[in-house]
Structure 1
Amino acid sequence: MTRYQYQVIALCGLVMFIDGFDTQAISYMAPHIADEWNLSQKMLGPIFSAALVGLMIGYLALSPLSDRFGHKRVIIAATVVFGLTTLAAVWAGNVTELVALRFITGLGLGAAAPSAVALTGEFSPRRLRATFVLVIYCGFSVGFVVAGLVAGRLIPDYGWRSMLWVGAAAPLLLIPFLVRSLPESPVYMIQRKMDQDRIYAVFRRIDRALPQSLPEQSEPVFSVEENDSGQRTALSSLFTRKWLLGTLLLWFVFMINLAEFYALQSWLPTIMTDLGYSMSVVVTATTLTTVGGIAAAFITGPSMDRLGAYGTLGVLYLVGFVCVALTGVAFHAPLWVLLTANFLAGCCISGGQKSLIALAAVFYPASIRSTGVGWALGIGRVGGILGPIVVGAALAMNWTPSSVFYAMSVPMLVAGFTVLLLGLRYGRHADRSAGIDDTAPGVTSEEARIPS
């Protein structure tokens, strides 16, 4: 790893940080929006889900654009979109306007994340790929934490729109740094037959031991390993015989995990507020679920790289079955027990989500990685959209918070066994993708070859 690689990963992490901040901020704004606009609790569901619908469409329809325009351009364009639409939401005067703007914001967020994951995977050594994908997704979780801290300070004094001002300023200020310092994907440049000196300059910044300039030769200097799908597009490659079963199982687990994740993050603040907890306790409890996900990443990332991706994630989900059910019990226990249960549930739900994205990043090769991750996240958003709606319906039918969490624990059990089943079919492939064979240094050692 060089400073240049850390710089690329840090910029991708900042994009994910802003994504997380924007996604979670609405959960803290929603009760205050409802009070100001006299909305029923049922109307909060569309506000929660609008950006998630946009995210789903962004992941499905816009992530493949990176194959045509490159990861850098997609990240920058998407950041401009969600920065400007977040700013425009400051002046939203009704639910329709807010939902429409949140939907467009979600489109931008959905386009940026897969390219950030793919670029991180490409600039990471194979032996650390899962770890670094988890690192940038910790940026997403840190955004959740910061959203809670900022909400606790700004909303009581300046109102819910102050969160939108902050959420718009961050991406707009980041854009100049992305334009100047974020490189394009070397694999994309090689496939597009761009200027070889430009490509070589990227590799020289990674490895200063390379010669000052390219050797003169008649044959092409760079090549990209072809997968067995030949000339297929990245999207159609997901449905070839080699990838179809793994793709479908990944989508199923993504739907479960994202349903759990967004149900927890969207409704926990409202549930605890209705139970009479103060704003500071609500923010602490919600933040602990996110901190748990960050803490879990320090264990699951190295474990996935060293011990196996599927076994690590499968065990995490099985533990999550117990921890989510424990949260339901903890609503009738002392506060410290509830906060501990929130932390442990976050380790398994939020930590599981990061680990699942890392699994997708090491599962797919570079040529289809952005599309593979993007479609997994996009299809998973079906669960993310339904999760908050189902929990809202259960609460409207007078389910107790404990009953809701008991029911939420069961899908975690199903996800755990599904991942273990996936590992039985693709475990050896995961080891190769994650870089158990660690002989080749450099950022894209498995995808791009440079002559000695």
Structure 2
Amino acid sequence: METTTIDVPSFIDERRISAFQYMVIGLCTLIMIVDGFDTQAISYAATLMAKEWGLTRAALGPIFSSSLIGLMVGYLAIPPLSDRYGHRRVIILSSVFFAIFTLLTATASGVTELIVLRFLTGLGLGGVAPSAIAMTGEYSPKRLRATFVLIIYCGFSLGFVLAGFAAAKLLPTLGWPSLFYLGGILPIVFAVLMALFMPESLDHLVLRRGDMERVKAILRRIDAGFLAPAAAVFSMGEREPGRLAVSRLFQQNRSLPTLLLWLVFFINLGEFYALQSWLPSVLRGMDYPMDKVALTTSLTTVGGILIAFVVGPCMDRIGPYFTVGILYICGAAAVILTGTLLHSAFWVVMACTFLTGVCISGGQKSVIALAAIYYPASIRSTGVGWALGIGRLGGIAGPLAVGFLFSAGWSATSVFFAAGLPLVVAGISIFIIGHLSNRGVSALRPAPSATS
């Protein structure tokens, strides 16, 4: 009997998006929302906790840092397990893991206990995003992959916003534990939904388990008219040798692009957290009232969400590397423009910070989508996770660097000028990755046959 090979990525690329695929992407979006909610919840609860426990503001630093360190470790350690054992399993287990420790956070009674609980919560949170991004990438056709990855990562930012709304409603009447009870219950509910309705990673089923009947069932849910031949075998495209997932980030001519991606993530998260940390202080120093400071700072996040619905289609239609590279170059211009017009009318400052958020916050979402496009399915979760983990180091370094410049006597305008330069480096790095990627694809194409 003749064997028929069905290439699964091509199967998905050649068909319209089904309701089943929208369900998978929707479930990934839901868990990203609660991931962002629980990441941000401590920021709103910390003030009340400090007041209740008699803590100084400085004592909150280790609490915030423990969450960030847990996230970084989660990004680095868990995605290779996702690529090996399946994204569905890791998303569900990570969700339950951080839900348990979020619920335990609501019962914390001391700083040391809270630091440990927030570290463990961050560890679970760090396991969700790379796996959800990888799962979305697998179930999205190539022509829409960047758009869908950007959409689900907007869920993470939306979780930040919802945490603020929930804090405003719950904290004054129910106290700080209520925020963590809500943040612990939601992921358990979503984990149950995923256990019931989310399929396993196709890459895992084809390459790791060889579970052909489950693959056939999933493909029939994507295309109800699909009839697999009796002797069908399934492929996920070119299969690479089964090395450790992290080492494979540096195989197949991926060493320089991987390092450049890490550099871009480092720069982008450094710029984002520097902006979020210092912009309120800069505006307060210019005697703006707190409501205007909060509004202006929030526009950086809003801009990043809105631009995702423009950048995603551009990445899919024009090209991911050109689009993201241009976004970073525009980001450099926006940051420098903000520094130049910092002492202008308030609406001008708002417009500049919005544009800055469009490029920096939007750039972060876009480069995550780009990483999901660049890495093959078998190491996609690891590639995204390690880039996010390295980027967290930038998130720590960025605010410290700005603080050092202010301590050295730099003006706010000069700091903004200096902050624009790394974004130029990020844009150039993306262009280089695109060039190397296109060259690598060309090298893999067979040479044209000679004609007589």
- TM-score normalised by L of structure 1: 0.86
Task: Name the structure 2 match of 1:5.
Answer: 21
Q: 2:302 aligns with which of 268, 284, 291?
A: 291
Match of 2:380 among 369, 373, 377: 369
Name whichever of 155-164 and 339-348 sits farther off. 155-164
Question: Does the aligned pair in 1 maintain the 2:37–2:183 contact within 8 Å?
Answer: yes
Query: What do the CA deviations read for 1:351-397 (whole angstroms, capped 9, x no partner)?
Result: 00011011111101111111111111112221123234444555677
The 1:42–1:394 alpha-carbon spacing in structure 2 relative to 1, beyond 3 Å, is farther
- Give the C-alpha shift of residue 280 in structure 1: 4.4
Change in CA separation of 1:159 and 1:386 when aligned onto 2, cut-off 3 Å: farther
Following superposition, the deviation at residue 50 of structure 1 comes to 2.0
Where structure 2 has 5 or more consecutive residues not aligned to the other structure, the ranges are 1-16, 445-452
Question: Per-residue deviation at 1:330?
Answer: 5.4
Question: Would you say the 8 A contact 1:24–1:265 is kept in 2?
Answer: no
User: What is the CA-CA distance between 1:245 and the residue it aligns to?
Assistant: 0.8
**Paired AA for residue 76 in structure 1:** I
User: Aligned residue for 1:58?
Assistant: 74
Q: How big is the shift at 1:110?
A: 1.0
Give the AA of the match of 1:87.
Answer: L
- Do structure 1's residue 253 and structure 2's residue 253 form an aligned pair? no
SS of 2:106 mapped into structure 1? helix
Post-superposition offset of 1:113: 0.9
Three-state SS of the structure 2 residue aligned to 1:222 is: strand
Count of aligned positions = 428
Q: Which of these two proteins has the greater Rg computed from alpha carbons?
A: 2
Query: Counterpart of 1:142?
Result: 158
Relative distance call for 1:106 and 1:163 in structure 2 (3 A) is same
In structure 1, how many angstroms separate the alpha carbons of the residues matched to 2:20 and 2:362? 27
Written as runs of structure 1 = structure 2, the 5 A alignment for 1:410-449 is 410-427=421-438
Q: 1:417 to 1:223 in 2, by over 3 A?
A: closer
Paired residue for 1:442? none
Matches within 5 A, 1:23-422: 23-37=39-53, 39-211=55-227, 214-217=228-231, 221-227=233-239, 229-268=240-279, 280-329=291-340, 332-391=343-402, 402=413, 404-422=415-433
**RMSD of aligned alpha carbons:** 2.8
In 2, distance between residues paired with 1:403 and 1:90? 43
Separation (CA, whole Å) in 1 of partners of 2:397 and 2:302 = 24
CA distance in 1: counterparts of 2:336 and 2:47, whole angstroms: 26
- How has the CA–CA distance of structure 1 residues 267 and 90 changed in structure 2, closer, same or farther, with 3 Å as cutoff? farther
In 2, the alpha carbon distance for the partners of 1:51 and 1:21 equals: 13
Structure 1 residue 31: Cα displacement:
4.5
Counterpart-to-counterpart distance in 1, 2:443 and 2:150: 18
Moved more, 255-264 or 295-304: 255-264
Q: Structure 2 vs 1, CA of residues 326 and 159 (structure 1 numbering), >3 Å: closer, same or farther?
A: farther
Q: Deviations over 1:385-417 (max 9, x none)?
A: 323444455567776655554443332222122
AA partner of residue 362 (structure 1):
I
8 Å CA contact 1:144–1:287 kept in 2: the answer is: no
Q: In 2, are the aligned partners of 1:190 and 1:199 still within 8 Å (CA)?
A: yes
* Change in CA separation of 1:236 and 1:278 when aligned onto 2, cut-off 3 Å: same
Deviation at 1:52, TM superposition (A): 1.8
Displacement after TM superposition at 1:146 (Å): 2.0
The percent of aligned pairs where both chains have the same amino acid is: 54
* Residue type at the aligned position of 2:323: T
- Secondary structure at 1:197's aligned position in 2? helix
> Which whole-Å CA distance do the structure 2 matches of 1:63 and 1:4 have between them?
24
Measured after TM superposition, the shift of residue 30 of structure 1 is 4.2
- Greater shift, 267-276 or 294-303, is seen at 267-276
Counterparts in 2 of 1:392 and 1:367: CA distance versus 1, 3 Å: same
Structure 1 counterpart SS, 2:235 = coil
CA contact (8 A) 2:266 2:392 kept: yes
Q: Partners in 1 of 2:168 and 2:335 — Cα distance?
A: 26
Structure 1 residue 63: Cα displacement? 0.7
- 1:421 aligned partner, one-letter code: I
Cα contact 1:138–1:294 (8 A) shared by 2: yes
Relative to structure 1, is the Cα distance of residues 221 and 305 closer, same or farther in structure 2, using a 3 angstrom cutoff?
A: same
Offset from partner CA, 1:264-313 (integer Å, 9 cap, x none):
33454566567766664444333321110111111111111111111111
User: Is residue 49–residue 388 contact of structure 1 (8 Å, CA) maintained in 2?
Assistant: no
CA contact (8 A) 2:30 2:155 kept: yes
C-alpha distance in 2 between matches for 1:209 and 1:10:
24
SS at match of 1:255: helix
Structure 2 counterpart SS, 1:221:
strand
Please say which of residues 261-270 and 237-246 is displaced more in the overlay. Answer: 261-270
The range that moved more, 159-168 or 393-402, is 393-402
**Cα gap change, 1:430/1:164 in structure 2, threshold over 3 Å: closer, same or farther?**
farther
* AA in 2 matched with 1:305: D
Pair 404,382 (structure 1): closer, same or farther in 2 beyond 3 Å: same
What is the alpha-carbon distance in structure 2 between the residues aligned to residue 371 and residue 256 of structure 1?
20
Aligned mates of 2:52, 2:343 — CA distance in 1: 32
Return the offset for 1:58.
0.9
Whether the 8 Å contact between 2:106 and 2:176 is mirrored in structure 1 is no
- How far 1:67 sits from its partner (Å)? 2.7
